Amino acid sequence: MDLSLRNSKRLVHLDLKGAPPRIGYLLELIQVFADLGATGLLIEYEDMFPYEGDLKVIQCKAQPPYSRKEIMSIQEAASSRGLEIIPLVQTFGHLEFVLKHEVFRKLREVDYCLGTLNPHCDQGVKLVQEMLRQVMELHPKSTSLHIGADEVYMLGLGEESKQWLSAPGHNDHQLFLRHVIKVAKGIRKKVPKLNLIMWDDMLRSMTPKIIKESGLVGLVQPMLWDYSPVLDVDNTVMRMELYKSAGMSQQWVASSFKGSTTVHTCVTSTQRHVDNHVQWLKVASGLSAGIELQGIALTGWQRYDHLSVLCELMPVSLPSLASCLQTLLHGGFTEEAQKKVYDKLGTVEVEDTERLPSRMSSSFVGAKLAELIVKLTSMLESAEVRNFQNSMFVRGWFTPYHKQKKIISPLIAQQIKTQAERIIDGVDIMVQEVRKEMRLLYSDYTAQEWLDQHVTPVLEPLQILLKDIESVLNDVGFCTTSVS
Backbone phi, then psi, for 196, in 5-degree steps?
Answer: -105, 140
CA 271-277-280 angle, 5° bins = 150
CA separation for the pair 266, 280 (Å, rounded) = 25
Report strand pairing: 40-44 vs 220-225.
Answer: unpaired
- For residues 336 and 278, is the Cβ–Cβ distance under 8 A? no
Instruction: Find all residues with CB under 8 Å of 381, minimum gap 6, and list them.
Output: none
CA 138-249-170 angle, 5° bins = 85
Backbone phi, then psi, for 140, in 5-degree steps?
Answer: -65, -20
Q: Which strands make up the sheet holding 84-87, listed edge to edge?
A: 84-87, 40-44, 9-15, 292-300, 250-258, 220-225, 195-199, 144-146
Collapse the DSSP code of 330 into the 3-class scheme (helix H, G, I; strand E, B; otherwise coil) and give the result: helix
Instruction: Find all residues with CB under 8 Å of 195, minimum gap 6, and list them.
Output: 143, 144, 145, 221
Choice among 28, 130, 151, 433 that is catalytic: 151
Residue type, 386: R
Instruction: Find all residues with CB under 8 Å of 202, minimum gap 6, and list them.
Output: 149, 150, 151, 152, 176
Q: What sign for the dihedral angle of Cα 295, 257, 148, 133?
A: negative
Q: How many residues does the chain have?
A: 484
Is 470 catalytic? The answer is no
CA separation for the pair 353, 391 (Å, rounded) = 32
Residue 108, beta-bridge partner list: 117
CA separation for the pair 277, 50 (Å, rounded) = 34
Q: Which residues are catalytic?
A: 151
